[in-house]
Amino acid sequence: MPATIVLGAQWGDEGKGRVVDYFAEGADYVVRYQGGNNAGHTIIVGDQRIALSLIPSGIHYPGCVPVIASGTVIDPKVLIAEMDMLAGLGFDPARVRISSNAHLIMPYHRKLDAAIERYLGRNQIGTTKRGIGPAYTDKYARFGIRVQDLFDPKIFAEKVEAGLRDKNKVLPRVYNTLPMDPVEVAAEYLSYADRLRPHVTDTSLLLWEALTEGRVVLFEGAQGTLLDIDHGTYPFVTSSNPTAGGAVVGAGIGPRMIDEVVGVAKAYISRVGTGPFPTELHDEVGDRLIELGGEYGTVTGRRRRCGWLDLLALRYAARVNGLTRVFLTKLDILSAFETIKVAVGYHSSEGSFTEFPAQQSVLYHCEPEYAELPGWGTDISGAREIEDLPGNARAYIEFVAETVGVPVGWVSVGPERSQLVTVT
Ligand code: GDP
Ligand code: IMO
Ligand code: MG
C-alpha cells in the first residue's frame, strides 16, 4: 500500500490512531492533512498509552517521518508540548516535518471558540474549544497567519495587529469578554519560532518526492466523515475536510497518487458534542457501550454518546470517500451483547430511507430500522486469525461488508497493537 489514506468513517474516535499505528510499521511517512489539536488519538505501545493530538501516529517508529501538512491548523504551544512529551517517552521528535503553509491557531481563536459557544447557548456545537473553527474562519477570510510568518517578526506583528483589529471590537462588544494585546500575542508566538524552525519545510514537495520514489506514505485523517464541513451533519461538524478529498488538498498532492482509502469504523458508533444521531441509545444498552468501550473523550474527557452501528452512515462514508476497505474496530466490545443490532434503514414522516438522508431535518426525526444479528457470547480479545473468531462474529463482519458494499479488511479485538485479525 504505497499511498494509503486512513480516515474516520463515522463521527470520530473510531480508533484511527491505533489503525495508523498498525500500518505505520511499514511506512516511510505518516501525514496529518487537516484539523488540529481537536483530535485525540490513543495508541498503546507495550505498556505505554500515548495520546496524540497533532503529531501523527508513527512517531514511535524510528524509520517513519511524521508530517503535519498544509491543511492543518497548528497551536504552536500545544505542538511543542507534544514534542516534549514524546521526547520524555523516549521518541525522537526531531523528524517531525511541519508545512510552512499550515495556519496557526492564535490565542484569540481559542478565546472566540469559547465565547461563540457560550453565546450560542442551547444551540452550541459542543466544540473542543481549541480554536479550530475561528482559525479556519480566518484562513478562508484570508486573515490567517501561517507558520512561515513566524520567521519574519515584523510582518508577523503586523498580521497579529490586523487580525486583532476587528476581533478586539467583537470580543468585548458582542461576546462580553476582554480584548487582547497584539504586542503580547506576537511576542509569545515569536518566542516559538526558533523551536519550530528546524521542522518547517515544503511538505508538498517532500511528499511528491517520496511518492515518486515509491515510498510508503500514510495519510492520517482526524475527526471523521460525518464531521466533514462539506459532507458531514452540518453545522454540527468540524471546520475542515476529514474525507478523502481533504487528504489530497491538505497534503498538496494529486488524487492519482492515492492507491487505497481505508475507512475506520467502530463496530458500534459514537459522537461527541451535539447534532443528529439516529441510532443513539439513551438506555442501559447505551450506558453499557460507553462503559465497556471506555467512551470518554481523549481531548476533553467528555462522555461520548453511543449507539448501534449505522450501516446507512457507513455506506455513505464508503461513497463520499471511495473506500476500498473498511477497518472495523472494537469488535470485542460487542461480545457482551446477546443480540446485536445494526441500522439498515430509517423511517420518518417523510418516508423510508435506505441511503443516508441529505436533508438534515430528516436525519433529526428519523427512526432507525434494525437488523438483529445473534451475538457470539464469548471473549474474542485473544483472536489473531479469522478462524479464531466464532461463526456469529464472522457472520457479523460479512453482513457489514455486504450491506456497505466494501470489504472489511481487518477487525480489531482490543486496543493493543497485536489485537487484530486480518480478514481479507
Ligand atoms: P481516534 O480518535 O479515532 O484515534 O480514536 P480514539 O483514540 O479517540 O478512541 C478509540 C479508543 O478505543 C482508544 O482508547 C483506543 O485505545 C481504543 N481502541 C481502539 N481499538 C480498540 C479495540 O479494537 N478494542 C478496544 N477494546 N479498544 C480499542
Ligand atoms: P478524533 O480525531 C470526535 C467534534 C466536537 C464537536 C465538533 C466541532 O479524535 O476522532 P471542533 O473543536 O472541531 O470545532 O468541534 O467536532 N470533534 C470530534 N469528535 N473526535 C474528534 O477527533 C473530534 N474533533 C472534533 O466534539 O462536536
Ligand atoms: Mg479521538
**Are the C-beta atoms of residues 240 and 35 closer than 8 Å to each other?**
yes
Question: Rounded distance, CA 257 to CA 186, Å?
Answer: 39
- Does the reported pTM lie above 0.95? yes
- Render pLDDT for 235-260 as a digit per residue (tens, 0 to 9): 999 999 999 999 999 999 999 999 99
Fold match, 3-97+200-261 / 103-194: no
Name the residue of 226, 304, 330, 384 to mutate for ligand 1: max ligand atoms within 8 A of Cβ.
330
- Ligand 1 pocket residue status of 266, Cβ below 6 Å: no
| pLDDT confidence of residue 297 | 85
Which residue owns the Cα nearest ligand 1 atom 10?
15
Which residue owns the Cα nearest ligand 2 atom 5?
127
- Ligand 1 pocket residue status of 182, Cβ below 6 Å: no
Please, what are the averages of pLDDT over each run of 10 residues along the chain (424 residues)?
93 97 95 97 90 92 95 98 95 96 98 96 94 98 97 98 96 96 98 98 98 97 98 97 98 97 98 96 97 89 95 98 98 98 95 93 94 98 98 98 98 96 96
Count of C-beta atoms within a 10 Å radius of residue 66: 28
| pLDDT confidence of residue 2 | 86
CATH number of 3-97+200-261: 3.40.440.10
**Are the C-beta atoms of residues 172 and 179 closer than 8 Å to each other?**
yes
**Would you call 13 a catalytic residue per the annotation?**
yes
Name the residue of 42, 410, 421 to mutate for ligand 1: max ligand atoms within 8 A of Cβ.
42
- 142, with CB counted inside 10 A (0-12, 13-18, 19+), is exposed
Give the three cell numbers for residue 225.
Answer: 466523515
Q: How far is the CA of 117 from the centre of ligand 1 (A)?
A: 28
| pLDDT confidence of residue 1 | 62
**Would you call 41 a catalytic residue per the annotation?**
yes
Residue in 254, 108, 127 with CA at minimum distance from that of residue 177: 108
Domain chopping of the chain, boundaries: 3-97+200-261, 103-194, 265-422
Which residue owns the Cα nearest ligand 1 atom 6?
13
Which residue owns the Cα nearest ligand 2 atom 21?
223
Q: Ligand 2 — pocket residues by CB below 6 A?
A: 8, 12-13, 38-41, 125-128, 130, 132-133, 222-224, 227, 236, 238-239, 272-273, 298
| Strand 103-104 with 217-220, pairing | unpaired
- Ligand 1 pocket residue status of 9, Cβ below 6 Å: no
Q: How far is the CA of 52 from the centre of ligand 3 (A)?
A: 9
Three-state DSSP at 65 gives strand
- Spot the catalytic one: 28, 41, 75, 310: 41
CATH of 265-422, one of 3.40.50.2000, 3.20.20.70, 3.90.170.10, 3.40.50.1370: 3.90.170.10
| pLDDT confidence of residue 45 | 85
CATH of 103-194, one of 3.40.50.410, 1.10.300.10, 2.60.40.10, 3.40.220.10: 1.10.300.10
Question: Rounded distance, CA 107 to CA 169, Å?
Answer: 16
Atom of ligand 1 nearest to the CA of 298: 8
Residue in 97, 95, 34, 33 with CA at minimum distance from that of residue 61: 95
- 136 DSSP β-pair partners: none
Residue in 79, 48, 72, 45 with CA at minimum distance from that of residue 61: 45
Question: Rounded distance, CA 409 to CA 390, Å?
Answer: 17
Which residue owns the Cα nearest ligand 2 atom 23?
223
